[in-house]
A and B are shown apart, each in its own frame.
Chain A
Amino acid sequence: MTTPLLEIKNLHVWFEVFGGVLKVLDGVSLEVRQGEKVGVVGETGCGKTVTIKAMMGVLPMPPGRIPKGKILFQGKDILKMSSTELRDMRGRDMSMIPQGATESLNPVFTIGDQLMAVIRYSGDSRRTLSKQEMKGRAMDILKEVRIPDAERIMRSYAIQLSGGMRQRVLIGMALATEATLLIADEPSTALDVTTQEQILRLMREMVEKRSVSIIIITHNLAVVRQLTDRTYIMYAGNVVEVARTRDLFSEAMHPYTRGLMNSVPKLSGKGIAPGIKGMIPDYFDPPQGCRFRPRCDQVMTACKEKPPLFKVGEDHEVACFLYQI
């Protein structure tokens, strides 16, 4: 098999703050293969945003510190890159679809200006494009993300567009860069269900058409199910389970994954599951061994050690001693 596009190996991220050290990421390993759609799911405070920030090299350091781990993108270690190299990589090779479409667009420039700025500063060929060419490219992109009346939208400001339209513009911007890896942080949470469905459909089509890779970070299991090939479940700074999305939803193994799936209200109306007891640990002093131990129903003596990822099937790994062979 070819080398993966992105590989995170045993990443630890600590934050040194007043009052102690927050040990947030505790050995996260993650990979994105060429042309793959990967989901990262976890609840508030599980470290998913820290992971992508580290990946893009935008983690504030200090207070952040990476005591251990490697992040390889196209074979190069991001942690060893200079800030110029990082800046060149972001935007050209890696591009982000941000969460809040309202805050992410500049309110005082037109959509056209912002799109053309992206086109000017990125793109693989560094030759200068004429204004006409840039405009043409921008229009093409807007048409591609199915924005009707692209001419008018080019001259509009962000507030004149609806939430779904803004999200389309942002997807367009991310695609304009010709990046090989797209990162979408909660791409649809701010949208209504009917709009969300359209946006997810659009993202899926775009990614498949251009055969780029995408990482989708979300807390919504259903979104991942609709969009991705492989899914990582994160809990308290650890990857607790990784599997092909199809397998994960048919047989979730980690007690946390199962608890999470049971907590989602079902359309079949079988009642509401009580959720998972307890809450996410304190990062100043996380539980020794398995960080899910205090909330787990199937806790054993072995859980005092940190469980490695056990292989339970093809592309399916679980960090739980229940599956130790």
Chain B
Amino acid sequence: MSEPSETILVCEKLNKYFPVHGDLLRRRVGDIKAVDGVSFSVSKGEIFGLVGESGSGKSTLAYALLGIHRPTAGKIWFRGEEISETIHRIPKIIKKEMQIVFQDPGSSLNPRRSVKQTLEVPLKVHNICKNRDRSEKIAALLEMVELPADYMDKYPSELSGGQQQRVGIARALAVEPSFLILDEPTSALDVSVQGKIISLLLDLHQKLNLSYLFITHDLSLMRNVASRLAIMYLGRICEIALTSEFFEAPLHPYTQMLLSSIPVISDEEEAFKPAKMASEGEVPSPVNVPPGCSFHPRCPAKTDVCSREDPRLVEVSKGHLVRCHFRS
């Protein structure tokens, strides 16, 4: 926030609660705190990784950033402009700058639209080019994602998973955005295909000078891709650090548990994990988040204070923030 020229996206104390209606009268009996007081910022040209298990609120956060969900409280700034609004109220010019690549290309592409028809929509909506140049533009987009131009007339069912995701990326890039949200772009793909999609995304990041918010549950992937990482647990961020620091010196007990649970494929890799820490319990339901520190029922280092007080996210060294009573 101090260097507005550098940061592209700022999120401050963002909350997104979904009401829970109980009984016959549909009275509000509680909230699902999907995103609870999340603050972070993404710098220009950065690949910011957001990691969490299912139910940690990473996708809700992405949708709140895009305006698909209206935040319950908190602020979002994008290039200095506040956008904590629903999608209808965000100026088109800002929407154009921020795009998303969805998780499962099989269900995020319309099966009844050819590749050309899919890619035409953003071009029309945002008036990117003249009608007669459109085919040329689509061919250029396909070339950008390394697909031959004659794929224009194919339908999603004729494409493999990797090719479908390339179309998904082309659709996001059609409006020439500066910021991309990648919501688990490779988790539906086989590993041998994943590599190609990731290297394409990294190439485009360089070539087009993009900034990424990369959402995933795969820490090994993030190790190779992101420059900075945030770990989410039950709607809250529990640790933010530079990737190298994160893997060398993880501080939060949850992060340590997560890192030591990653299944790896060689002994050499095993050495990169922190000391073995047996994982205990499961992520509780976000409807009844444990009081105090939400991780305390699973934490091996818990004390009395953990169940009473919620720790704050504190900066322990430059750029390394942790939410734990004992690390700050």
Residue ranges of A at the interface with B (Cβ–Cβ < 8 Å):
43-44, 162-165, 192-198, 200, 219-223, 225-226, 249-250, 259-261, 263-276, 279
Contact, CB under 8 Å: A249 / B266: yes
Contact, CB under 8 Å: A275 / B195: yes
With most chain B CB atoms within 10 A of its CB, the pick from A43, A196, A260, A263 is A263
The interface size of chain B toward A, counting residues with CB under 8 Å, comes to 43
Task: Fill in one digit per residue for B213-257: 1 if any A CB lies within 8 Å of its CB, else 0.
Answer: 000011111011100000000000000000110010000000001
Contact, CB under 8 Å: A222 / B195: no
Contact, CB under 8 Å: B194 / A275: yes
The 4 closest A-B pairs by CB, nearest first: A222-B263, A275-B195, A192-B53, A197-B261
Instruction: Give me 6 A-to-B residue pairs in the complex whose CB atoms sit less than 8 angstroms apart, sorted by A's number.
Output: A192-B217, A223-B263, A260-B191, A265-B220, A265-B223, A266-B220
Contact, CB under 8 Å: B258 / A263: no
Contact, CB under 8 Å: B195 / A274: yes
Number of residue pairs spanning A and B whose beta carbons lie under 8 angstroms apart: 124
Please give, as numbers and ranges, the residues of chain B lying within 8 Å of A267 by CB-CB distance: 219-220, 223, 247, 262, 264, 269, 272-273
Binding-face segment, B25-33, B39-47, B196-204, B315-323: B196-204
Contact, CB under 8 Å: B279 / A266: no
Q: How far is the CB of A170 from chain B (nearest CB, A)?
A: 15
Known: A222-B265, A261-B265. A272 touches B225 (CB 8 A): yes
Known: A192-B217, A197-B263. A263 touches B53 (CB 8 A): no
Residue ranges of B at the interface with A (Cβ–Cβ < 8 Å):
53-54, 160-162, 190-196, 198-199, 202, 217-221, 223-225, 243-244, 247, 257-258, 261-266, 268-269, 272-273, 279-280, 282-283, 285
Please give, as numbers and ranges, the residues of chain B lying within 8 Å of A272 by CB-CB distance: 195, 198-199, 202, 221, 224-225
Contact, CB under 8 Å: A222 / B264: yes
Measured between alpha carbons, how far is A212 from B127 in the docked complex, in Å? 65
Q: How far is the CB of A224 from chain B (nearest CB, A)?
A: 9
With most chain A CB atoms within 10 A of its CB, the pick from B195, B202, B265, B268 is B265
Known: A194-B279, A197-B279. A268 touches B190 (CB 8 A): no
Contact, CB under 8 Å: B224 / A271: yes
Query: Dominant SS at the B interface?
Result: helix
Please give, as numbers and ranges, the residues of chain B lying within 8 Å of A275 by CB-CB distance: 191-196
With most chain A CB atoms within 10 A of its CB, the pick from B161, B193, B264, B273 is B264
Measured between alpha carbons, how far is A43 from B188 in the docked complex, in Å? 12
Please give, as numbers and ranges, the residues of chain A lying within 8 Å of B162 by CB-CB distance: 279
Contact, CB under 8 Å: A270 / B262: no
Measured between alpha carbons, how far is A265 from B279 in the docked complex, in Å? 22
Measured between alpha carbons, how far is A273 from B265 in the docked complex, in Å? 15
Please give, as numbers and ranges, the residues of chain B lying within 8 Å of A165 by CB-CB distance: 282
Contact, CB under 8 Å: A270 / B224: yes
Contact, CB under 8 Å: B224 / A259: no
Q: Which residue in chain B gives the minimum CB-CB distance to A223?
A: B263
Q: Which residue in chain B gives the minimum CB-CB distance to A221?
A: B265
With most chain A CB atoms within 10 A of its CB, the pick from B224, B272, B285 is B224
Please give, as numbers and ranges, the residues of chain A lying within 8 Å of B283 by CB-CB distance: 162, 192, 194-195
Contact, CB under 8 Å: A263 / B194: yes
Please give, as numbers and ranges, the residues of chain B lying within 8 Å of A193 by CB-CB distance: 53, 217, 219, 258, 261-263
Measured between alpha carbons, how far is A144 from B214 in the docked complex, in Å? 40
Contact, CB under 8 Å: A249 / B279: no
With most chain A CB atoms within 10 A of its CB, the pick from B218, B220, B282 is B282
Please give, as numbers and ranges, the residues of chain A lying within 8 Å of B243 by CB-CB distance: 269
Q: Which residue in chain A gives the minimum CB-CB distance to B254?
A: A194
Measured between alpha carbons, how far is A17 from B221 in the docked complex, in Å? 39
Please give, as numbers and ranges, the residues of chain A lying within 8 Å of B261 by CB-CB distance: 193-194, 196-197
Contact, CB under 8 Å: A219 / B190: yes
Please give, as numbers and ranges, the residues of chain B lying within 8 Å of A260 by CB-CB distance: 191-192
Q: Which among A162, A219, A271 is the interface contact of B191 at CB below 8 angstroms?
A: A219
Contact, CB under 8 Å: A273 / B195: yes
Extra pairs beyond A164-B282, A192-B54 (8, CB < 8 Å): A192-B282, A194-B53, A194-B283, A195-B283, A222-B265, A264-B265, A265-B221, A266-B220
Please give, as numbers and ranges, the residues of chain B lying within 8 Å of A274 by CB-CB distance: 195-196, 199
Known: A194-B258, A195-B279, A279-B162. A268 touches B199 (CB 8 A): no
Q: How far is the CB of A269 from chain B (nearest CB, A)?
A: 5
Measured between alpha carbons, how far is A259 from B247 in the docked complex, in Å? 26
Q: How far is the CB of B165 from chain A (nearest CB, A)?
A: 13
Q: How far is the CB of A301 from chain B (nearest CB, A)?
A: 25
Q: Which among B220, B224, B265 is the interface contact of A249 at CB below 8 angstroms?
A: B265
Contact, CB under 8 Å: B263 / A265: no
Contact, CB under 8 Å: A259 / B192: yes
Measured between alpha carbons, how far is A222 from B263 in the docked complex, in Å? 5
Measured between alpha carbons, how far is A279 from B219 in the docked complex, in Å? 26
Measured between alpha carbons, how far is A272 from B285 in the docked complex, in Å? 34
Measured between alpha carbons, how far is A165 from B219 in the docked complex, in Å? 24
Measured between alpha carbons, how far is A163 from B55 in the docked complex, in Å? 11
